[in-house]
């Protein structure tokens, strides 16, 4: 047996990371010809966008896919980024696990230093051809160009050829690779991927030249760059026991309070002393002598101490305005009925890593009503094309009861059906992907919960719109019927009895007995014209408070006849309408100046100080006006609309009222 053990020992040897991924390329997203081609484009595009943003340059990308023969394609991705210095080019493109972002706690598309090097490895593995890289930095007259491959035994770049060439770009990088793949159109295609990139990167101009040669340009929708992200230290919330022990072992701090203050974000010396006191650890104890029991006590103490939320300057969420711009820019061919105002949640933490969840919903119009909703998944501004079922985003969508928000959902779970597009973006200093291919977000409880809350928040806005539209639709039908039929009855009745046609305004109010509020917003001559009309179809005068969410500093004061009684936080505006006579139509109108068209396309109107049962067309103020965006709880108030509400006209009642009036 001893000889067998020695023989087995001789066979043991180290496996290089390149060799491992070479034999397990499916882990990196090269498990099919179709996916391999998309992955090749995706990894290069991610690098280009990160480089441009690091240099604060508005990205201009050119992606060209050419068919060489059979299943071989030549992929070229060119950008206007800052370029790469000559010394670093080989390592960046042909060395796995080499990069500047793995140890950095700030939002980036690339995280592991694998992506584009894996493409080079896959290209040489399937076609035997080297990758060609050209890079130019602004202070040099010529570009550096090289052909290189990845030595999988050593995980080192192997330069086949290099030279300096004339390039008409001031600065930028071009990456060209031959890969075995399959080009398709449809849902999981390069075109759909680039469309997704354009939605969440509206500051980028993307030119795509497909094999058939019909160039597609996704123009940038904004000149505004995403805010630059800053590197931060880990947040103490969610740090694991082993990680804490490792950090304590290698820290340069000599005291426990200094260690907690220097190695973690949001821990001041006062908080550090409080943690040590609760944990029973001496404040001046040496961190490198920290025992297992003491580390556990410190983690428990961290949970009990009030620590500020993580910094937000390490993240770059898209934001409500740019999500709306991106959706409208790319989905411009469609005319949806409603864009629910996107929701950006407050930053949360998992495993010491801050993250933010954003959700946007597009509904109605030309979208298909018979198919499942379209789900757009993004992580750090990158579209997730595959493994939808394994993704925490999809699982969160399936958990929400969409029937409460106006969409069909069989059994109250699963992906709902209806004319809607749901966009979910997770931004974090470290996205917990399910695999190195970066196609699905892992089911981390903290992340999934935040996605669910954001979905419900955005869905409540959709439900408010649907309820508002349904009520207005029913009321409008009723008004039209009454306004057509009552004059006919009055005219015929007057003719029969030989009397003048009576004034029927009061009759209409007795039948309708509602205050109908209709609002609209139109954009022309670089102005938004906002109008809120109040129809008093009740027998008596009405008084109410009208509330709107509107950027009051952008209101043209000359166009506003009635001044509000209160403006809170710059956008919560209240008017006191003291007397609207019976049968009177009152209009509150004003113009907004200097607001981009896509930033204000729907009014948020509420009323108070009036019987809610008598109002149609807007919602009654749902609680404290100071609560953020008028929400009461995370779940929000449940609105119901009874069958038959604002229902059919009782013609016998109409005739009886007319008879009594006469």
With a cut of 60, say whether residue 415 has pLDDT above it: yes
Q: In this predicted model, what pLDDT tens digit does every residue of 27-66 receive, in sequence order?
A: 666 778 888 898 889 888 988 998 898 888 999 999 999 9
Between strands 585-593 and 527-537, the pairing is antiparallel
Indicate whether 126 pLDDT > 80.
yes
pLDDT of residue 596: 81
- Say if CB 213 and CB 267 are below 8 A apart: no
Residue 614: pLDDT band by 50, 70, 90 thresholds?
confident
Instruction: Work out the average pLDDT over 106-110.
Output: 62
Q: Is the pLDDT of residue 178 over 90?
A: yes
Which residues have C-beta within 8 Å of that of residue 450, sequence separation ≥ 6?
345, 348, 355, 357
**pLDDT for residue 121 is more than 90:** no
pLDDT 10s digits, 243-301: 888 888 888 899 999 999 988 888 888 999 999 999 899 989 999 888 999 989 999 99
User: Would the pLDDT of 593 be above 90?
Assistant: yes
Closest Cα partner for 37 from 160, 145, 126?
126
CA torsion sign, 314 to 315 to 321 to 322? positive
Q: How far is CA 304 from CA 236, 265, 274, 594, in A?
A: 12, 17, 10, 48
Cα of 530 vs its chain's centroid, Å: 28
Where does residue 70 fall: left (phi above 0), alpha (psi -120 to 50 degrees), or beta otherwise? left
Quick one: pLDDT at residue 6? 65
Q: Identify the burial level of 298 via C-beta atoms within 10 angstroms of its C-beta, where 0-12 means exposed, 13-18 middle and 19 or more buried.
A: buried
More confident: 74 or 630: 74
Please compute the mean of the pLDDT values over residues 507-531 and round it to a whole number.
Answer: 86
- Whether the per-residue pLDDT at 630 is higher than 60: the answer is no
Cα separation, 328 vs 561, in Å, equals: 33
Torsions phi, psi for 133 (to 5 deg):
-120, 135
pLDDT digits (tens, 9 = 90+) for 337-367: 788 878 888 888 887 788 999 999 988 877 8
Name the more confident of 436 and 116. 116
What is the pLDDT confidence band of residue 644, given thresholds at 50, 70 and 90?
very low
Task: For residue range 68-77, list pLDDT tens digits in order.
Answer: 988 899 999 9
pLDDT value at 132 more than 50: yes
Burial class (CB in 10 A: 0-12, 13-18, 19+), 594: exposed
Q: Which one is predicted more confidently, 133 or 225?
A: 133
- What three-state secondary structure class fits 184? coil
The tokens describing 453, both together, are 């809350």
Rounded average pLDDT over 430-457: 88
Residue 639 DSSP label? P
Q: Is the pLDDT of residue 98 over 70?
A: no
The position carrying tokens 């998992």 is 350
**Residue % of the chain over a pLDDT of 70:** 85
- What are the CA-CA distances from residue 6 to residues 9, 31, 319, 409 (Å)? 5, 38, 62, 63
Q: Parallel, antiparallel, or unpaired for β 619-620 and 605-608?
A: parallel
Q: Taking 60 as the threshold, does the pLDDT of residue 212 lie above it?
A: yes
The mean pLDDT of the chain is: 82
Q: What residue ranges define each of the domains in the chain, with the CATH number in brackets?
A: 17-218 (3.30.565.10), 241-304 (1.10.8.50), 334-463 (3.30.230.10), 471-661 (2.60.40.2960)
What is the predicted pLDDT for the residue at 319?
Answer: 81
Local confidence band at 653 (pLDDT 50, 70, 90 cut-offs): very low
Task: State the CB neighbour count (10 A cutoff) for residue 387.
Answer: 18
Query: Is pLDDT above 70 for 18?
Result: no
* Range in 78-87, 99-108, 142-151, 467-476 the model is least confident about: 99-108
Query: Tokens 């959706």 sit at which residue?
Result: 327
- The residue among 373, 468, 470 whose CA lies nearest residue 419 is 373
CA angle 105, 438, 45 (to 5 degrees): 85
**Given CA atoms 591, 597, 599, 602 in this order, what sign does their dihedral have?**
positive
Beta bridge partners of 426: 357, 379
Distance CA 661, CA 657 (A): 6
Mean pLDDT lowest for which of 15-24, 225-234, 589-598? 15-24
Q: For position 642, what pLDDT does the model report?
A: 36
Q: Can you point out the beta strands (E) in 28-171?
A: 60-69, 72-79, 131-136, 143-151, 156-165
Distance CA 130, CA 176 (A): 9
H-helix or E-strand spanning residue 179: strand 172-180
Tracing tokens 């030309």 back to the chain, one arrives at 366
């Amino acid at each position: 047996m001893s000889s067998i053990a020695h023989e087995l020992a001789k066979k043991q040897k180290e496996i290089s990371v390149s060799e491992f991924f070479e034999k397990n390329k499916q882990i990196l997203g090269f498990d099919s010809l179709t996916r391999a081609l998309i992955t090749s484009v995706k990894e290069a595009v991610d690098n280009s966008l990160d480089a441009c943003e690091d240099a604060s340059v508005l990205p201009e990308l050119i992606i060209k896919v050419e068919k060489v023969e059979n299943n071989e394609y030549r992929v070229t991705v060119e950008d206007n980024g800052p370029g790469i210095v000559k010394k670093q080019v080989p390592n960046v493109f042909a060395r796995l696990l080499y990069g500047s972002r793995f140890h950095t706690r700030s939002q980036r598309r690339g995280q592991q230093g694998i992506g584009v090097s894996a493409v080079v490895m896959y290209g040489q593995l399937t076609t035997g051809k080297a990758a060609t890289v050209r890079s130019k930095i602004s202070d040099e007259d010529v570009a550096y160009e090289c052909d290189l491959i990845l030595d999988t035994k050593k995980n080192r770049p192997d330069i086949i050829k290099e030279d300096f060439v004339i390039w008409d770009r001031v600065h930028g990088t071009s990456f060209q690779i031959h890969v075995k793949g399959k080009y398709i159109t449809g849902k999981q295609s390069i075109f759909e991927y680039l469309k997704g990139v354009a939605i969440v990167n509206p500051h980028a101009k993307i030119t795509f030249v497909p094999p058939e040669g019909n160039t597609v340009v996704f123009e940038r929708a904004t000149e505004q760059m995403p805010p630059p992200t800053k590197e931060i230290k880990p947040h103490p919330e969610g740090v694991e026991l082993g990680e804490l022990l490792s950090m304590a072992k290698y820290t340069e701090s000599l005291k426990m309070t200094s260690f907690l203050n220097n190695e973690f974000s949001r821990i001041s010396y006062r908080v550090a002393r409080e943690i040590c006191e609760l944990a029973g650890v001496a404040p001046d104890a040496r961190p490198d002598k920290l025992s297992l029991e003491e580390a556990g006590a410190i983690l428990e103490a961290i949970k009990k101490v009030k620590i500020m939320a993580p910094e937000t300057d390490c993240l770059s969420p898209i934001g409500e305005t740019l999500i709306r711009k991106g959706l409208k820019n790319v989905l411009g061919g469609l005319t949806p009925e409603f864009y629910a105002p996107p929701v950006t949640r407050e930053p949360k933490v998992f495993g010491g890593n801050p993250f933010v969840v954003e959700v946007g919903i597009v509904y109605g119009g030309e979208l298909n009503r018979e198919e499942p909703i379209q789900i757009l998944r993004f992580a750090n501004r990158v579209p997730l094309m595959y493994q939808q079922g394994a993704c925490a985003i999809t699982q969160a969508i399936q958990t929400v009861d969409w029937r409460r928000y106006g969409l069909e959902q069989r059994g109250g779970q699963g992906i709902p059906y209806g004319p809607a597009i749901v966009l979910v973006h997770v931004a974090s200093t470290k996205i917990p992907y399910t695999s190195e291919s970066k196609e699905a977000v892992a089911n981390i409880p903290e992340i999934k919960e935040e996605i669910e809350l954001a979905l419900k928040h955005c869905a409540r806005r959709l439900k408010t719109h649907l309820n508002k539209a349904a009520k207005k639709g029913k009321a409008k039908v009723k008004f039209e019927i009454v306004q057509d039929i009552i004059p006919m009855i009055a005219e015929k009745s007057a003719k029969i009895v030989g009397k003048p046609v009576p004034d029927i305004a009061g009759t209409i109010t007795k039948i309708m007995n509602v205050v109908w509020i209709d609002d609209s917003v139109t954009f022309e001559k670089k102005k938004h014209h906002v109008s809120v009309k109040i129809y008093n179809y009740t027998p008596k005068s009405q008084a109410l408070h009208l509330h709107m969410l509107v950027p009051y500093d952008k209101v043209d004061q000359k166009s506003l006849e009635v001044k509000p009684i209160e403006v809170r936080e710059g956008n919560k505006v209240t008017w006191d309408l003291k007397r609207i006579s019976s049968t009177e139509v009152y209009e509150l109108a004003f113009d907004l100046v200097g607001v981009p068209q896509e930033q204000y396309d729907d009014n948020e109107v509420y009323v108070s100080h009036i019987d809610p049962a008598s109002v149609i067309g807007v919602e009654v103020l749902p609680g404290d006006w100071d609560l953020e965006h008028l929400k009461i709880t995370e779940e929000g108030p449940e609105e119901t609309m009874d069958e038959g509400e604002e229902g059919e006209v009782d013609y016998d009642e109409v005739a009886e009222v007319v008879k009594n009036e006469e």
